[in-house]
Amino acid sequence: MNWLKKTLDFGQKIKRFLKKRPSRQDIENSDWVSCCGPILKKDLENNLFVCAKCNKHHRMSCVQRFDTFFGKGNYQILNTPISNNEDPLLWKDKVAYSEKLKAAKKNTKQDCAIMVATGKINDIEVVVASANMAFLGASVSISEAEALVYAVQHAIDNNKSFINFCSGGGMRMMTSTIALNAGMVKTTLAINELKKKKLPYIVCLADPCFGGILASYASTADITLAEENCFAGFAGRKVIEGTLNEQLPLNFQSASHLLSCGFLDAEVHRKDLPEKIGLILSILLKKQSNVKMEDSGQTSENNIKTREAS
């Protein structure tokens, strides 16, 4: 009977081990977060959610994004349209999509994965969209597409530039081709209308940015930036490795690799984004900038050849 006793004792050890593991709720309520080591959440927030040791740019909510970009209290959030029928296919697997959607709204305090705000950068009025990975992986469906179209229309109506912080896993599978048509086709057509008005469209990729997001509105900008250490692509690394049956380089789909391939215009640290984007807008809009060129004492307006948005 010793084998039975040993088996029961081993089972009790497993139970004790599992009980010690923190739940998702415990992690969310903790004052600490894990990166290259334990970091106080407050310290991470004070450093714009960037790890001071490894430079990892941690994910942020939409409000946190607006706070770090504009400064707290220096922007206005717009109420974007929300679809009356967000579950047209009545999708259900282990849990009904309607329940997942309800939980995402409650946990993030957002109506959809994308929020839109207006504010000023370098004294230039802009419209900014941001995605929240905590909302169903920032996947794009009907309401998200409506939020982006609304942002573009607001930019056109008020003669403002549009800045889009793009992240997410792609189009939302629970709404299938409806999400594809709304998220990819409709948003791309809206961006084309923005370009007809010669209004700048700047995209900043935030980790991660994949699937139909990168295959549509994230790849149609006049200027495409990415946060440092961001990863972006169409299919995921494991999918590609499985298809090609070969090992990919370690930096594959990283911002530095995309920059070397000419896919990006610049890889920028989060703290430098307001300044960099403000300078770009000044150039695109032919505004005078007080940023001096390195090789002379003249201003960039006199040294940089200006160009309009394509």
Q: Where are the domains positioned within the chain?
A: 22-56, 60-303
Q: What is the pLDDT of residues 238-295, one digit of tens each?
A: 889 888 898 988 889 999 999 999 999 999 999 999 999 999 999 999 864 444 444 4
Residue indicated by tokens 């009356």: 84
> Regarding predicted confidence, which is higher, 209 or 250?
209
pLDDT score at 278:
96
Q: What is the pLDDT of residues 9-66, one digit of tens each?
A: 666 666 665 555 655 555 566 778 888 888 888 888 889 999 988 999 999 999 999 9
Instruction: Give the β-pairing of 124-131 and 38-40.
Output: unpaired
Fold of 60-303: 2-enoyl-CoA Hydratase; Chain A, domain 1 (3.90.226)
> 174: which residues sit within 8 A by CB, 6+ positions away?
87, 89, 91, 97, 100, 141
- Closest by CA position to 44, among listed 274, 275, 270: 270
Q: What is the pTM of this model?
A: 0.83
User: Above 60 in pLDDT, residue 116?
Assistant: yes
3-class state of residue 227 by DSSP: strand
- Give the per-residue pLDDT at 296: 40
